[in-house]
Amino acid sequence: MEKSIFQRIIDREIPSQIVYEDDKFIAIRDIAPKAPVHLLLIPKQFSSRLDEIADAQHMGELFMTANRVAKEHLTDYRLVVNVGAGGGQVVFHTHIHIMGGWEDRSEAEHLTEAAQ
C-alpha cells in the first residue's frame, strides 16, 4: 500500500509547517487553507477514516489534542472531520481540520451554512 501524503509528512519525507508534535499526533498548517488559520491534526497511528478508530482512549486523545492545539493558536475555532468521499474526505488518513481566525461570523458564513 502506498503511503498517504500525511504518512510521508510524519516520516519527514516531504516538508510541512509543523505546529505541534508528540508521540501520537502531528499538527501542520494546511497548504490550501479555507480559513485565516487552518491546521490539520493527524494521528501517527494510521487509520484511513475516523470511523475505523475503535479504541475509545485513542479517540478521546485525538479530540483532546485537537482542542489543545486549537487553543494554542485561536480563541474561537471550528473542528471538522470529513469521513469518507461522500463526507468530503480527500486524503484517506484520519485527520481533524482546526479552523478559525475570522474577524467575525460573517467571514465564516460559507462554512456555517454548509454545516447546518
Kindly provide the b/e burial profile for residues 13-37, where b requires at least 16 CB atoms within 10 angstroms of the residue's own CB: eeebeebbeeeebbbbebeeeebeb
What totals of helices (H) and strands (E) does the chain contain, helices first? 3, 5
Cell output for 35: 480559513
Q: Which residues are catalytic?
A: 95
